[in-house]
Amino acid sequence: MDCRSLVNGEWLEGGEPRPNINPSDLDDVLGQAWVQGAEVVDAAMAAAHAAAPQWAASTPQQRFEVLDRIGSELLARKDELGRLLSREEGKTLPEGVGEVARAGQIFKFFAGEAVRGGGQHLDSVRPGLEVDVWREPLGVVGLITPWNFPMAIPAWKVAPALAFGNAVVLKPAELVPGCAWALADIIHRSGLPAGVFNLVYARGAVAGPRLVESQLVQGISFTGSEATGRQLAAACGAQLKKLQLEMGGKNPLVVLDDADLGTAVNAAIQGAFYSTGQRCTASSRLIVTEGIHDRFVQACVDALRSTRVGHALEADTQIGPVVDANQWRQNLDWVARAEQEGAVRAFGGERLAARTPGFYMQPCLLTGTHPQMAINRHEVFGPVATVLRVSSYEEALAVANDTAYGLSSGICTGSLKHAMDFRRRAQAGMVMVNVPTAGVDYHVPFGGRKASSLGPREQGAAAAEFYTTVKTCYLKA
């Protein structure tokens, strides 16, 4: 598979090949991405700038049809593309297929949003005057995406961008060029005018500053690390450029004495370890009250013992490999550091060998941790979760909120009183009761507070806030 940049409706020649390696089997190379320098970003921005007015003037029906067609092809090819995703990123085949289907659903949802529109008509407070509030496209948007949801995240940025009449430059993550290429190929054949959607393979450190500094780009939407997000925030601030950031999480899952044990263990195992823990919504801190602590830990260990880690494409695999060597090393270092700080390894945390050479790691449950340990303050982004023992609901809530992040916050309890209180007082963009912290719907807002997010929410009706700008029009006859 040769992944090439798409600029102004043309697949570009040239660049340096970067091999696309399967993390489940390092001998399996999917092909290469042809990585180019700043010139590809410049060409893409110029193409998007030239094409933007035509797309901004398109009818809602035209936008509906393009987005609906993209969604239909993604759904029809979900098995094939899910396989590509799992081979490239390492999540299991059901997760890969599910993610492609999700991407298709997102395009379908935003096809509808293009038609529904979102204006408002009001009577003026002054006599004889009418007011209309419109939403207009921003213009050109630069979309920078991470490797952990290589179909769904590009989809949930590209679909609203196009639905609301913007032109796009998409810069996908280096580790997952194939999914971006497959999505671009579908978009390329969807009837969208040339130049409205452009894909660039360029290093993040090259493409990011270029997109931010260009006067041709009106907004940047980024999902990735907090460190890069902070750089972008500073740079966009200096440029007065509209910005949407989705970054890390250190998401708590509170388990109270009155929780159903099976529900709590399932939420913890799914939320912390599925998708190899490589989700910004992963439950990385399990905050457990004393009465259920020992039973909960034992049940988690039992569940982990029978959880199969292996090649992402094998039928019985529940947890795939870590995405690359760097992340693998970091995860193992975090486990070692937590042990030095006094955490106890109740399960896993070591490298695993499988049938094929890959970045396999046994999911790790660390007990005896306290809130001040580094492992409880920094995002690991791997299959590593800690247990924090607390003595009351109030202490659990305080520990849950004691973090620099605020993306997703969960509680398992049979008590309506505690569930209601938690929903009100959790300092997070998303609150989950008796379900894992990870796993969200596509038609409602996604995003967080504190260091997890900046700017308007993504997805659902909220997506219009970033991808449009408001115009207030006064009219007197």
What residues are annotated to the active site?
246, 280
**Which residues in the 58-87 window bind ligand ADP by CB under 6 A?**
none
Q: Pick one of 31, 37, 204, 445: the residue that binds ligand ADP (CB under 6 A).
A: 204
How many angstroms separate the Cα of 172 from the Cα of each of 16, 32, 115, 266? Answer: 16, 14, 28, 32
Measure CA 312 to chain center: 20
- Residues 5, 214, 228, 244: which binds ligand ADP (CB under 6 A)? 228
Which CB atom, from 146 or from 406, has the smaller least distance to ligand ADP?
146
Choose between 231 and 415: whose C-beta lies nearer to ligand ADP. 231
Which candidate, 330, 321, 89, 138, places its Cα nearest to that of 225?
Answer: 330
Q: How far apart are CA 157 and CA 141, in angstroms?
A: 10
Half-sphere exposure of 444 (CA within 13 A, CB side): 6
Residue among 374, 441, 435 nearest 409 (CA) = 435
Report yes or no: 282 and 270 within 8 Å, Cβ to Cβ: no
Contacting residue, 51, 101, 103, 144, with ligand ADP by CB under 6 A: 144
For ligand ADP, which stretch binds (CB under 6 A), given 157-165, 170-178, 301-309, 398-406? Answer: 170-178
Tokens of 205: 């450190």
Q: 35 or 319: whose CB is closer to ligand ADP?
A: 35
From candidates 171, 210, 279, 418, binder to ligand ADP by CB under 6 A: 171
Please report how close the Cβ of residue 229 comes to ligand ADP at its closest, in angstroms: 7
Question: Which of residues 205 and 238 has its CB atom nearest to ligand ADP in the complex?
Answer: 205
**By the 8 A CB rule, do 346 and 387 touch?**
yes
- How far apart, in whole angstroms, are the C-alpha atoms of residue 49 and residue 283? 41
Site residue total, ligand ADP (CB under 6 A) = 14
Q: Which amino acid, one-letter code, is at 267? A: A
Q: Which stretch binds ligand ADP (CB under 6 A): 26-34, 166-174, 300-308, 460-468?
A: 166-174
The single residue among 231, 266, 401, 434 that binds ligand ADP, judged by CB under 6 A, is: 231
Q: Which of 139, 168, 174, 173 is nearest to 153 (CA)?
A: 173
| Residue 409 lies near ligand ADP (rule: CB under 6 A) | no
Residues that bind ligand ADP (CB under 6 A): 144-146, 171, 173-174, 204-205, 208, 224-225, 228, 231-232
